[in-house]
Structure 1
Amino acid sequence: MTRSNLVGGEMLNWSDLHPADSRPAVSGPAAAAVLAAALRPGDTVLIAGPHGHGLYVDVVAVAESVDILVRSAPDAEELAESLGNAKTQVYCGSLDRFATDETYDLIVALDGLERVVGPDTESLPWADALAKLTDRLAPGGRLLLGATNSFSVNRMIQPDITAALPRDEDWGRAVADSSPAGLAPLTTALRAVGVEVEGSGSEREAEPAPIAAGAGVSGAGSAGELQQGRLSARIHGVYPSLVEAEVLVGDNQQLTAAAAARVVAERNSGPTLMDPYRVVMDAARAGLLVELAPAWYVVVGVEVPVEPATGELVEERLLHALRVDDQLALRREIVAYVEWLRTAPETGAPDNVIVDGTSYRLFGDASGGTVEEQLARFARRALESGARQPWPAGGSAHDLTARLASMVGITLAPETTPELIRPMGSAEQLATVARLADELAHASARAILFEGTVSGIRRSVPYRLGHAMLNPARVVRRRLKRVLRRR
């Protein structure tokens, strides 16, 4: 006896909640935050596709009624058993077989639309799947939709070696069944099904005021109201992936980028094509933090809380000074930062401290450590990122730390065994090799020029005359020295 309702297209020997050879279900703080902002007491909710168990629990705790649609039969049975109550119904099968006249206040599909169907469905274009969901929205309803980005910062960080090794879930599907490739095509596809995208990401002119978690948008004229038959939406970037939704970005402010860069770097600690942290930070500097996000959330009818844009990281100021060879600015930033370190009750490294005007505050947890240790951390990170420096390439972290420390009157002990740090990314390593080769070529050219100058001097008449005049005196002096030593 099954506890779930079979609608057709079920996958009997398959699990998206406990995958053996596929990606896991959606989870993470960003997913929970978006859901908390969208969910209201008394809502009727449809959750389509696999989501982390905690997300189901959060919805069931607040909503009036919850319908869950998953394609996996074992998953459906597990959810029916763990969440089963009078207000929860679990359906097993494909979205194209899910026939109901029910409408919902909130539809949650943060996993995207690719896993709402199984191999029994020959083709379900992405736009058609989205239309099936939006058709079930009640007036003023809210929609949370996830979509993967096929060309994101991940393509610049890691070579896609696994693409040649398809997983069990990568059966042949029509190209149109996948989410649109790129933010602009995604926006176009949304508009084609009646979802009008407002300014989002780098296009946003003004950030909305943060709202309390769990609060919704209500009243006429809200983002989710039907406007001449259309829905209004915003698009947010998700890092580091759709299924590990750690950080949500809605613009290109530096602090949001730093949070995203950290989680990306944590998951790419091995060999990389480029330094993961710098790729994300550089994308933000170029205004592409949302466009190059690994995934997106399309949010209809919800204003998601965002962190206000205040200040910037000390590390970014220091790297900018290095990048433009502004040693005066570098010295000024180092002096001000170290003065704060010496008086602050809790200290942090340059990548963990925000400067706003002349005030400093921590960005995350305090790291502790001496001034020398904080400067050494920055030196290592600068070398690992392959950042440009106004000094000869090939120096050690100790050399760079000593230069920075000297700006505040600190003298480091000599290094016994120099530790040379390679840039993390292959691209930065090649750039460093190119810079070393260029410096070596210039040094070689100067040596050749010097040798030519010396050779020319030796062939000159004044040099020869001087040499001829001084040579006899030298011979006499050497002979006198030998005679005196014998005595």
Structure 2
Amino acid sequence: MTRSNLVGGELLNWSDLHPVDARPAAAGPAAAALLATALRPDDSVLVAGPHALDLITDVAERVTSVDVLVRSAPDAEEIAEALADAKGEIYCGSLDRFRGEDQYDVIVALDGLERLIGPDTATLTWADALARLRERLAPGARLLLGAENSFGFERLLQPAITAALPRDEDWARDVADTAPAGLKPLQAALPDADVYAVFPSLVDAQLAASSVDGLAAVVAARAVAARNAGPTLMDPYRLVLDAADAGMALELAPAWYFVTGELPAVLPVDAVPAGPGVLLEEHLLAALRVDDQTTLRRIIPSYVAWLQAGGNGSPDNVILDGSSYRLFGEPQDLDVVGHLARFVRRSMESGSRQPWPAGGDVHALTARLASMAGITVPPEFPGSNEVIRPLGSAEQLTTVARLSEELAAASARAILFEGTVSGIRRSLPYRVGHAVLNPARVIRRRVRRVLRKVRR
């Protein structure tokens, strides 16, 4: 027996849990981690908006009672069936039709406020929707709210020309239901909230962190790069890391979680490895950018020794802590040359500044690094003949400019050399020396001139 109550403004032929041409519901390990931190056994909870079914059932298992408000009628029936043994009610309809006097210890709206209404809602601004939810909070209650960033990393990564049509839910509407643009207006609307940057999106929250730096920035960069695997204006991985170095990763995050009220513990971020250290890849790239051969010749042999002693990780998933190394993520089935070659490919894909000539091949650059550790690279290895191009359009243009500069410099040197050689050949010392060193050739040329005159 279902407990789906229609409150008005419901969508009868629409699903946010199983969308056909729309984004899915809020989900991800970071969302689960936030709920695990924020919920208490005696809480009464309202889950507002589309959330993955496993998140909703997880909430029901952790608290005393849970009510759910969704706009999709099919979703409401599915959720009611999944929560058949839980205490609470399922409401189907728009937030502006959701009446009642019930108040809650926690309101969970990790998907944001935009999908709490349907096309039947005439006007409901984001601020009005937030006010309606806050009215249902009991004294001392907690609000867990998600918000997308309309000017985040993906806005900077989108190709200049895109042929993608808007999805069904993206077409313009008369309802001003989008969140304020930028972090500062949202913080002004929620001055009592703690802010967590979410990567890579609300529907796939892999990481939620209040400070995006160090290894947290690496995890965030990986998440953004995985989501933006196609052609981009800039390399997604490097863009996030550079923004983190500049202290801008929080402002440019794809989305945020805003958490009000007292939490029993700090939000766990299991994706970020514990302990000190820096990513080995970043340390090596920093040395390459300034042509720090001393650091390279010190780190490469040490890293290779770690690999030969049983370590199994490429520089992009190895943490360097002083002179020790530890794996960050899953081990990789590669030999020593393979690990070095992976670093070379990633450095070339990033388009970052390197001391060797632009346009170098994987084999030659891998051999250069391997020689620092006394390793001879075989004539061929997997990917040794691969042509590597920078991932982002900006980095590709930078590489083209660098190649053009190197070609122009080489051409200038060739012209200078040719002019120098020509001038030397015309000089008297050169001609005298040429005659002394090549007497037979000089005599032969004079005999030929005499014979030509005699024949005439």
* Length-normalised TM-score, structure 2: 0.91
Q: Which moved more, 1:3-12 or 1:395-404?
A: 3-12
Q: What's 1:332 paired with?
A: 298
Matched residue, 2:454? none
**Residue 399 of structure 1 pairs with residue 359 of structure 2:** no
How do residues 166-177 of structure 1 correspond to structure 2 at under 5 angstroms? Answer: 166-174=166-174, 176-177=176-177
> What is the distance in 1 between the residues matched to 2:183 and 2:251?
6
> Where in structure 2 are the equivalents of 1:89-100 lying within 5 Å?
89-100=89-100
Letter in 2 for 1:281: L
Residue 253 (1) aligns with residue 213 (2): yes
Answer yes or no: is 1:428 the counterpart of 2:395: yes
Q: Is the deviation greater in 418-427 or in 386-395?
A: 418-427
The one of 305, 315, 340 equivalent to 2:268 is 305
Aligned length: 438
Q: Deviations over 1:136-187 (max 9, x none)?
A: 1111111110000111111233337668622222243357421111112221
Contact 1:346 1:368 in 2 (8 A): no
Listed as ranges, the matches of 1:208-287 within 5 Å are 232-287=192-247
RMSD: 2.2
Q: Give secondary structure in 2 for the equivalent of 1:169.
A: helix
Contact 1:376 1:397 in 2 (8 A): yes
Aligned residue in 1 for 2:425: 458
Return the letter of the residue paired with 1:247.
Answer: L
Q: Does 1:104 align with 2:104?
A: yes
Cα deviation, 1:412-469, whole Å, max 9, x if unaligned, reads: 1334974321112222111111111100000000011111111222222322333344
Whether the 8 Å contact between 1:180 and 1:186 is mirrored in structure 2 is yes
Identical aligned residues as a percent: 66
1:66 is paired with a residue whose SS is strand
Alignment partner, residue 451 of structure 2: none
Shift of 1:86: 6.0
Q: 1:436 and 1:317 mapped to 2: Cα distance?
A: 25
Mapped pair 1:353 → 2:318 = yes
Q: Residue 60 of structure 1 contacts residue 66 of structure 1 at CA under 8 Å; is this kept in 2?
A: yes
Is 1:412 matched up with 2:372? no
**Per the alignment, do residues 163 and 97 of structure 1 end up closer, same or farther by CA in structure 2, a change over 3 Å counting?**
farther
Correspondence for 1:68:
68
SS of the equivalent of 1:466 reads helix
Equivalent in the alignment of 2:354: 389
**Which of 289, 296, 321 is the aligned partner of 2:256?**
296
Cα gap change, 1:418 to 1:66, in 2 (>3 Å): closer
| Contact map agreement 2:124 2:175 (CA 8 A) in 1 | no
Q: Does 1:323 align with 2:286?
A: no
Q: 1:270 & 1:19 partners in 2: Cα distance?
A: 23
Aligned to 1:445: 412
Alpha-carbon distance between aligned partners in 2 of 1:265 and 1:109, rounded to the nearest angstrom: 26
**Is the Cα contact below 8 Å between 2:314 and 2:343 reproduced in 1?**
yes
Distance 1:413 1:435 in 2: 29
Q: Within 2, Cα distance between the matches of 1:280 and 1:144?
A: 25
Give matches, 1:43-54, under 5 Å. 43-54=43-54
**Deviation per residue, 1:271-322 (Å, 9 max, x gap):** 2222222222222112122211111111122331245562111000000001
Unaligned runs of 5+ in 2: 447-456
Cα offset, 1:129, TM superposition: 0.8
Tell me the distance in 2 between the aligned counterparts of 1:389 and 1:175: 51
Residues 1:18 and 2:21 are matched in the alignment: no
Q: Distance in 2 between matches of 1:370 and 1:477?
A: 64
Query: How far apart, CA to CA, are the structure 1 residues paired with 2:160 and 2:220?
Result: 21
How far the C-alpha of 1:256 sits from its partner, in A, is 1.1
Residue 478 to residue 338, structure 1, CA distance change in 2 (3 Å): farther
Name which of structure 1's ranges 169-178 and 362-371 shifts more when overlaid on structure 2: 169-178
Q: In 2, Cα distance between the equivalents of 1:85 and 1:164?
A: 43
**8 A contact 1:255–1:309 mirrored in 2:** no
